Structure 1
Amino acid sequence: MGGEARAVVGAGISSRGEWGMVLTGVVAMDGPSGTGKSTVSRRLARELSAAYLDTGAMYRAATLACLRAGLTAESGPEQLAGIAIAADLESVTDPAAPRILLAGTDVESEIRDQPVTQAVSAVSAVPEVREALVARQRALIEKALAEGRGIVVEGRDIGSVVAPDAGLKVYLTASEEVRAARRARQDLKAGRRADGAAVLADVQRRDRLDSTRKTSPLHAAPDALVLDTDELSVDAVHAELLRLVGERGLVG
């Protein structure tokens, strides 16, 4: 039902992490695209038997709903908000198999295609859309915590807006060139066409739009740890995250 926050937690998640540790709080992972947020967030959640929420997927699914309704990035904010807010979205928070459902159908692959990528910044910049989806995101966080589970949440405004009281806030960053190269590899791996110059231009465009929008612009929360991933492997970032959750007392 549109406007309702729902999550489907995979039954296969074990009650205890691989190292016998379980996440007990909220980890907020922010940063622009191509910094490795999804990879390290899912891995951390999986290892610590936590839920995992990709807020970007929610905005992309709402954007897909707008495109299916015949709207474009140039459509008026009221039109975009009307469709996006009413969209029937459902988040599967199992880090081993995260998915986003639109009207009961898995659209995880479709929301990564170019039409959605080109329009998502316009839809997510509409204040009413952000307000509605932030409310859903907070409800999903509260649901996980009420079930006695921690949650790793990734996006662009988690530490600053969605979960300002998160026990750990991390802002991942990397150069535009490194992020574009990573995005291109991801696209190729997923079977999508990837032109290096076009991907770099899209990364720069998204950065500009996300950092200059009036509502919840992309930036690191004042108390977030900024981690440059240019020269860091996934294993190195993961090890640092494990150290930090332990240091903050977020594992039990």
Structure 2
Amino acid sequence: MYRACAWQAARDGAETPEQIAAVVTGADLRVSTDPDDPRISINGTDVTQAIREPEVSASVSRVATVPEVRVDLVLRQQQIIAESRRGIVAEGRDITTVVAPHAPVRVLLVADPAARVARRQAELGERVDTEQVTDQVLRRDRDDSTVAAFTEAADGVTLVDSTHLSLDEVIDTIVALAEEVAR
């Protein structure tokens, strides 16, 4: 959601916190909860692929650190979760502490910064160099830490370090946690 709003803010030329907040609070933001068709659109434009572009990654913290934006998007996220009929998997930096602090399974997924940079570099390929990716990942951590506590597991949150785990191993670990809670 934050990435979609960053995309829209850039498209609209919103630069100040007030302009960014106006773009976000007035946006028609739609997020698919279908795991077989994960899509996100803003103001009628499908931005599912566009929000993964390096330019969006470089600007998302500028949007995510605006307090009015955080309030608006947290409420939207909470509404999506509340409307979920069979449960939902939600991910984000403050899901376990702010958005869904009472969820039955809460996981803080962490990885060594070098592993995170390598994964992001693999996702982006040759479109950006490692130095740019490192700056984006570490700067976003630094910027976002001013508005969200996402580096330490809160009480009741399970820490999963994915530094040396494959995607399948991470999924298996989290599914096992969910199954344990369901028993």
Q: Report the TM range for the smaller structure's normalisation.
A: over 0.9
1:107-126, aligned counterparts within 5 Å? 107-126=47-66
User: In the alignment, which of 161, 169, 172 is matched to residue 228 of structure 1?
Assistant: 161
RMSD (CA atoms): 1.4
List per-residue Cα deviations over 1:135-194 (Å, max 9, x = no partner).
Answer: 0111111111xx3x1100000000100001000111111111111010011112xxx613
Match status 1:249 vs 2:179: no
Match status 1:216 vs 2:156: no
Residue type matched to 1:156 in 2? R
On the 8 A contact 1:167/1:248 being kept in 2, the answer is yes
User: In the alignment, which of 62, 83, 87 is matched to residue 23 of structure 2?
Assistant: 83
What is the CA–CA distance in structure 1 between the aligned matches of 2:128 and 2:35, rounded to whole Å? Answer: 26
What is the CA–CA distance in structure 1 between the aligned matches of 2:53 and 2:170, rounded to whole Å? Answer: 27
Residue type matched to 1:174 in 2? A
1:64 is matched with 7
Match status 1:134 vs 2:74: yes
What is the CA–CA distance in structure 1 between the aligned matches of 2:100 and 2:108, rounded to whole Å? Answer: 13
1:237 is matched with 170
List per-residue Cα deviations over 1:191-219 (Å, max 9, x = no partner).
Answer: x61311221121111111111x2x33333
User: In the alignment, which of 80, 90, 112 is matched to residue 175 of structure 1?
Assistant: 112
1:235 deviation in Å? 2.1
What is the CA–CA distance in structure 1 between the aligned matches of 2:63 and 2:119, rounded to whole Å? Answer: 24
Residue type matched to 2:16 in 1? G
On the 8 A contact 2:9/2:23 being kept in 1, the answer is yes
1:119 deviation in Å? 1.3
On the 8 A contact 2:54/2:128 being kept in 1, the answer is no
1:196 is matched with 130
Give SS of 2:106's match: strand
Q: 1:97 to 1:114 in 2, by over 3 A?
A: same
What is the CA–CA distance in structure 1 between the aligned matches of 2:53 and 2:154, rounded to whole Å? Answer: 30
User: In the alignment, which of 128, 136, 141 is matched to residue 207 of structure 1?
Assistant: 141
1:21-60, aligned counterparts within 5 Å? 58-60=1-3
Residue type matched to 1:62 in 2? C
Larger helix share, 1 or 2:
2
On the 8 A contact 1:170/1:227 being kept in 2, the answer is yes
Higher relative contact order at CA 8 Å, sep ≥6: structure 1 or structure 2?
1
What is the CA–CA distance in structure 1 between the aligned matches of 2:135 and 2:59, rounded to whole Å? Answer: 15
TM-score, normalised by the number of residues in structure 2: 0.93
What is the CA–CA distance in structure 1 between the aligned matches of 2:10 and 2:170, rounded to whole Å? Answer: 36
TM-score, normalised by the number of residues in structure 1: 0.69
1:129 deviation in Å? 0.5
In structure 1, stretches of 5+ residues that fail to align are 1-57
On the 8 A contact 2:115/2:163 being kept in 1, the answer is yes
Identity of aligned residues (%): 43
Alignment: residue pair count: 182
Larger strand share, 1 or 2:
1
Give SS of 2:136's match: helix
In structure 2, stretches of 5+ residues that fail to align are none
On the 8 A contact 1:62/1:85 being kept in 2, the answer is no
